């Protein structure tokens, strides 16, 4: 229906109401179509949505409102023109529309004029008092209009906005989230994901679902909490939105909390859904304050933080490769006419965005319409260490909000920044990070893991705890690992790159072939970094330049070749405390100049991965400060053989040895038994290990002995009876052990015994087990638990933990 037909024979107020109604119908029809000015249509539709209650009141009370004639007629004409413009634009192809009409500009002006007219004129000229429904609705529009310019303030208009017209990858998450929300036992539900993953979009889609709208009829309340929530403002906005006048003025948070449940009960009996969007860490107290014993009342929270207190949580995952490609191409307007962009370039950029919808939209938008040369140039810059944050002004500020830590937790931010020393999506062993942070920040194991847990809660990293027994909490982390999303590694790299190279606390270098950075070629380049990470690929030509790193405390070396040469500057890195060398090639690698390490006076921790070690003891000067050696997937059969010195001379103060997945280890070298200061000996997943030396009993300071998953190990030597300081003995999944040592009872300090999976251990336990007076926990399966039943009456502190079958296969991918 044309607008010009509506005004005939109508009063000014009736004409105003009818024109808005026709404009609204036109906007709704066009809003379902795909057009370039769709965001402007959505903004206008949102304003008209808020006006509908007022239009209804105008029709009912047409004689009580004094319409300003001149302004009303002017706005009516503007709305007529707007309606005509929208209809014409909707019939044009989008590229012609952009040139033939100034549609976006005119629609924005129309939207602002309608809102301003309702705010300044109808509200001022209404003959009814401020408590009327018209005035209340006008006030809501005013508050919403004022609030739209400040995203950090809660929305006064507590309605869920419509989702974007184009979404991808949300169908399955929405179905899963809806199913969880509709469960009767779910009263509070947390939707969590890193920044930019589409949490708010998913909620908007959920609230458009017919089943959700049918259940929570007119009772879906949306509150944008943000960083600094104000309980008074939140409750005032909820009252305003529902058109209810509180009994008295809300002057404090206590007043707000007292009045809110009364309002919620008043709007019943239909179920109520309260959505708290964008709740920050530190604001979770809102949940407790907004919990009320009201039937059919549910709270849905969205947050970047995975608050542990929530019993029901839904983790929104990143987009898969197909959906990510679809969203990126849509954002970059890559249609058939854009096929000149190489597909491989597109895929590289999409992979770089790591499935983050926000990154895909913004990066795609920034490349929209650009020549193929620009695309390729951008890729070259990114691969050369110029992160895509440098070419974008929107993405970086949004993600940096996740790095806002209070002063008393700033060390957690430092730990986050350290994670970029490893490759994206790499499984970083938790013990590797513990080694680093023990020396950089003086953290013990428990605090380091606690910080990793907090990074996980903030969705900045993910700590995966594999095959964790109750007895191992806060004690064993060798099988745990950490991963970090690509986009957050890029964020950390960008943050670390802000200082000049020579002044950075962390220097991260990725070298491909012989493409070394220019600064590296300068003579005697001085590096003041405390943490230095150098990664090379299989084509690196081993041209280590003359750099100096006198302050480096942690050195991380990643490579992919069969032979490796340590950088020559290592020999003079006198402050080096932690060395991590990882081979990511297919075959084991040999290190040619391993002897450079023996000149380092402060080296405390060494971790080697997939290295063939010829000798660990060929040194003229003992490594007196070395406290820990970790060998993962290494060939170590000859590491302690044919040595010019005894192990006890070369490593006199070693306190911890970790040997994991070293398949050529058949017999533990006798020389290790002479390291009298050893406190922890972990030999795990070494399936060919068949025997421990009789001299094991000489390790009189040993406190923790773990031999888990050494499937060929048939027995423990009787000499372990001398390990009077031993408090933890782990022989779990040692399938060949058929009996415990006869004199095991002499382990007078033993507190934890893990014998889960010792399937051949079927005979009665040694009589001496009754002397294990300090034994508190035995972990075993049901069959082994029966063997301990006669012993329990003699050991009053003993608790038998029957291990459950663990179907977690994360450990297989270590």
Region 30-51 average pLDDT: 67
Length in residues, the chain: 814
Query: Would you state the pLDDT for residue 553?
Result: 96
610 pLDDT band, cuts 50/70/90, is: very high
Q: How confident is the model at residue 539 (pLDDT cuts 50, 70, 90)?
A: confident
pLDDT at 753 over 90: yes
Mean pLDDT throughout 548-577? 90
Backbone angles phi, psi at 520, to 5 degrees: -65, -25
Residue 672: pLDDT band (50, 70, 90) is: confident
Fold of 665-814: 3.80.10
**Highest mean pLDDT: which range of 104-118, 201-215, 532-546:** 201-215
Average pLDDT of 540-565?
Answer: 85
pLDDT, residue 451, reads 94
- Side-chain-facing half-sphere of 578: CA atoms under 13 Å: 21
Amino acid 512: pLDDT: 76
Quote the pLDDT of residue 3. 38
> How confident is residue 56, by pLDDT bands cut at 50, 70 and 90?
low
Does 35 have pLDDT greater than 90? no
**CA–centroid distance for 268 within its chain:** 38
Q: Is the pLDDT of residue 731 over 50?
A: yes
Matching residue, tokens 């290494």:
634
Please tell me what DSSP assigns to residue 182.
T
What pLDDT was estimated at residue 330? 85
State how far Cα 663 lies from the chain centre.
34
Name the more confident of 95 and 507: 507
Examine the pLDDT at 134 and tell me if it is beyond 60.
no
Instruction: Give the confidence band of 33 by pLDDT, cuts at 50, 70, 90.
Output: low
- Per the CB < 8 A criterion, the answer to whether 236 and 250 are in contact is yes
Roughly how many angstroms between the first and final C-alpha of the chain, as a whole number? 67
Q: What confidence score (pLDDT) does residue 341 get?
A: 77
Reported as a single tens digit per residue, the pLDDT across 766-777 is 999 999 999 999
In this predicted structure, the answer to whether residue 375 has a pLDDT above a threshold of 90 is no
Q: Cα–chain-centroid distance for residue 486?
A: 10
Structure tokens at 454: 């907090």
The pLDDT value recorded for residue 767 is: 93
Which residue carries 């010019």 as its tokens? 644
What is this structure's pTM? 0.74
The reply to whether domains 171-315 and 665-814 share a CATH topology is no
| Average pLDDT score over residue span 690-717 | 94
Alpha-carbon span 275 to 371, nearest angstrom: 43
Q: Which of 97-101, 446-450, 475-479, 626-630 has the lowest mean pLDDT?
A: 97-101
At residue 94 the predicted structure's pLDDT band, cuts being 50, 70 and 90, is: very low
For the range 319-322, what are the long-range contacts, defined as Cβ-Cβ under 8 Å and sequence gap of 24 or more?
319/168, 319/169, 319/355, 319/356, 319/357, 319/360, 320/169, 320/355, 321/350, 321/351, 321/355
pLDDT at 671: 84
Asked whether the predicted pLDDT for residue 157 surpasses 60, the reply is no
Identify whether the C-beta of residue 110 lies closer than 8 Å to the C-beta of residue 44: yes
Burial string for 746-777 (b: 16+ CB within 10 Å, else e) reads bbeebbbbbbbbbeebeeebbebbebbeebeb
Per the prediction, the chain carries an average pLDDT of 81
**And the tokens for 295?**
């039937």
* CATH class held by domain 171-315: alpha beta
693 has pLDDT over 80: yes
Give yes or no for a cis peptide into 269 (omega within 30° of 0): yes
The residues with which 126 forms a beta bridge, in sequence order, are 65
pLDDT given for residue 281 in this prediction: 85
User: Confidence class of residue 583 from pLDDT cuts 50, 70 and 90?
Assistant: very high
Q: For residues 390-403, give the mean pLDDT.
A: 77
pLDDT at position 231 is 86
pLDDT of residue 100: 38
Q: Is the pLDDT of residue 178 over 50?
A: yes
Report in angstroms the alpha-carbon separations of 341 from 47, 94, 347, 364, 699.
Answer: 40, 22, 11, 13, 65
Least confident of 494-498, 728-732, 748-752: 494-498
> Which range among 277-286, 339-348, 353-362 shows the weakest confidence by mean pLDDT?
339-348
Q: Residue 363 — very low, low, confident or very high, per pLDDT cuts 50/70/90?
A: confident
Name the DSSP letter for residue 355: T
Report the distance separating Cα 688 and Cα 703, nearest Å: 24
What is the arithmetic mean of pLDDT over 255-283?
A: 86
Q: Is pLDDT at 138 greater than 60 in this prediction?
A: no
**pLDDT above 50: residue 174:** yes
**pLDDT at site 813:** 45
Percent of the chain residues topping a pLDDT of 70: 79
Q: What is the CA radius of gyration of the chain?
A: 34
Q: Is the pLDDT of residue 605 over 60?
A: yes
Decide if pLDDT at 106 tops 80.
no
| Mean local confidence (pLDDT), 24-32 | 74
Residue 507, both tokens: 């220097």
Q: Inform me whether the pLDDT recorded for 697 exceeds 70.
A: yes
- Report pLDDT for 438: 95
CA distance 769 to 790: 11
Maximum CA extent, the chain: 111
| pLDDT of 2 above 70 | no
**CATH match of 405-487 with 2.60.40:** no
Max mean pLDDT among 14-28, 68-82, 147-161, 204-218 falls in: 204-218
Is the per-residue pLDDT at 685 higher than 90?
Answer: yes
* Distance between CA atoms of residues 703 and 680, nearest Å: 6
How many other CB atoms sit within 10 Å of the CB of residue 32? Answer: 9
Q: Spell 313-323 as b/e; 16+ CB within 10 A means b.
A: bbebebbeeeb
Q: What is the residue extent of each domain of the chain?
A: 3-147, 171-315, 321-326+336-397, 405-487, 665-814
Q: What is the pLDDT of residue 112?
A: 66
Dihedral angle computed from the Cα positions of residues 498, 500, 504 and 506, in that order, rounded to the nearest 10 degrees: 70
pLDDT at 619 over 70: no
Least confident window among 155-164, 211-220, 271-280, 691-700: 155-164
Residue 568 has pLDDT above 50, yes or no: yes
Confidence label for 779 from pLDDT (cuts 50, 70 and 90): very high
pLDDT computed for residue 511 by the predictor: 81
Proportion of the chain above pLDDT 90, given as a percent: 36
Q: Is the pLDDT of residue 509 over 60?
A: yes
Helix, strand, coil % in the chain, rounded to nearest 5: 45, 15, 45
Distances, alpha carbon 295 to alpha carbons 184, 185, 212, 478, 772, in Å: 11, 12, 17, 47, 55
Distance, in Å, from the CA atom of 391 to the CA atom of 359, rounded to the nearest integer, reads 12
What is the 3-state secondary structure of 100-137?
Answer: HCCHHHHHHHHHHHHHHHHHHHHHHHECCCCCCHHHHH
Which residue matches tokens 């977690």? 808
Q: What is the mean pLDDT of residues 52-57?
A: 63
| pLDDT attached to residue 797 | 87
């Amino acid at each position: 229906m044309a607008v010009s037909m509506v005004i005939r024979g109508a009063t000014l107020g009736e004409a105003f109401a009818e024109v808005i109604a026709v404009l609204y119908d036109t906007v709704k029809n066009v809003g379902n179509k795909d057009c370039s000015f769709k965001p402007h249509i959505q903004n206008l539709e949102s304003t008209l949505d808020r006006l509908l209650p007022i239009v209804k009141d105008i029709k009912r009370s047409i004689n009580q409102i004094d319409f300003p004639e001149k302004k009303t007629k002017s706005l009516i004409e503007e709305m007529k023109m707007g309606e005509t413009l929208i209809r014409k634009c909707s019939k044009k192809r989008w590229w012609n529309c952009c040139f033939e009409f100034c549609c976006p500009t005119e629609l924005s002006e129309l939207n602002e004029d309608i809102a301003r007219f309702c705010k300044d004129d109808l509200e001022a000229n209404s003959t009814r008092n401020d408590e009327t429904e018209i005035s209340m609705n006008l006030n809501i529009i005013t508050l919403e209009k004022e609030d739209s310019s400040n995203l950090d303030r809660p929305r006064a208009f507590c309605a869920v906005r419509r989702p974007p017209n184009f979404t991808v990858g949300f169908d399955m998450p929405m179905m899963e989230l809806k199913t969880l929300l509709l469960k009767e036992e779910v009263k509070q539900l947390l939707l969590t994901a890193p920044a930019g993953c589409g949490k708010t979009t998913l909620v908007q889609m959920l609230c458009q679902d017919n089943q959700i709208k049918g259940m929570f009829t007119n009772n879906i309340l949306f509150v944008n909490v943000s960083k600094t929530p104000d309980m008074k403002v939140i409750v005032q906005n909820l009252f305003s939105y529902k058109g209810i006048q509180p009994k008295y003025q809300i002057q404090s948070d206590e007043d707000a909390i007292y009045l809110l449940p009364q309002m919620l009960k008043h709007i019943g009996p239909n179920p109520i859904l309260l959505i708290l969007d964008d709740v920050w860490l530190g604001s979770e107290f809102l949940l407790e304050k907004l919990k009320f014993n009201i039937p059919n009342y549910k709270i849905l929270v969205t947050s970047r933080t995975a608050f542990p207190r929530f019993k029901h949580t839904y983790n929104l995952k990143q987009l898969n490769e197909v959906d990510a490609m679809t969203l990126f191409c849509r954002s970059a307007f890559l249609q058939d006419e854009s096929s000149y962009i190489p597909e491989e370039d597109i895929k590289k950029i999409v992979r770089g965005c790591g499935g983050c919808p926000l990154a895909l939209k913004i990066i795609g938008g920034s490349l929209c319409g650009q020549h193929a040369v620009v695309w390729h140039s951008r890729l070259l810059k990114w691969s050369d260490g110029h992160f895509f944050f440098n070419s974008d002004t929107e993405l970086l500020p949004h993600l940096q909000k996740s790095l806002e830590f209070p002063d008393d937790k700033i060390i957690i931010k430092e730990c986050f920044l350290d994670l970029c020393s490893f490759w994206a999506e790499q499984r970083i062993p938790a013990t590797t990070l513990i080694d680093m942070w023990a020396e950089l920040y003086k953290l013990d194991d428990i605090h380091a893991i606690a910080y990793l847990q907090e990074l996980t809660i903030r969705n900045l990293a993910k700590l995966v705890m594999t095959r964790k027994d109750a007895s191992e909490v806060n004690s064993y982390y060798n099988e745990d690992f950490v991963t970090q999303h690509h986009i957050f590694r890029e964020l950390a790299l960008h943050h670390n790159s802000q200082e000049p190279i020579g002044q950075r606390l962390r220097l991260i270098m990725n070298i491909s072939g012989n493409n070394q950075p220019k600064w590296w070629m300068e003579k005697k380049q001085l590096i003041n970094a405390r943490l230095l990470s150098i990664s090379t690929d299989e084509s690196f030509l081993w041209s280590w330049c003359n750099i100096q790193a006198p302050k480096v405390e942690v050195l991380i070396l990643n490579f992919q070749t069969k032979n490796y040469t340590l950088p020559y500057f290592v020999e003079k890195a006198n402050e080096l405390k932690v060395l991590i060398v990882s081979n990511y090639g297919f075959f084991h690698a040999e290190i040619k100049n391993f002897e450079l390490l023996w000149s380092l006076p402060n080296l405390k921790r060494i971790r080697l991965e997939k290295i063939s070690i010829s000798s660990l003891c060929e040194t003229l000067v003992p490594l007196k400060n070395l406290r820990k050696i970790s060998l993962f997937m290494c060939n170590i059969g000859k590491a302690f053989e044919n040595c010019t010195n005894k192990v006890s001379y070369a490593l006199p103060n070693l306190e911890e040895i970790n040997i994991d997945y070293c398949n050529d280890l058949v017999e533990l070298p006798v020389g290790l038994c002479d390291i009298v200061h050893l406190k922890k000996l972990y030999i795990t997943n070494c399936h060919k290990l068949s025997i421990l030396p009789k001299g094991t009993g000489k390790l009189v300071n040993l406190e923790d002995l773990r031999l888990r998953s050494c499937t060929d190990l048939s027995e423990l030597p009787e000499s372990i009876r001398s390990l009077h300081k031993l408090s933890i003995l782990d022989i779990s999944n040692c399938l060949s052990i058929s009996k415990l040592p006869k004199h095991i009872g002499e382990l007078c300090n033993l507190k934890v015994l893990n014998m889960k999976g010792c399937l051949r251990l079927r005979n009665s336990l040694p009589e001496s087990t009754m002397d294990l007076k300090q034994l508190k926990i035995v972990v075993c399966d049901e069959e082994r638990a029966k063997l301990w039943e006669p012993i329990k009456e003699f050991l009053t502190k003993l608790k038998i933990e029957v291990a459950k079958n663990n179907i977690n296969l994360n450990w297989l991918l270590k």
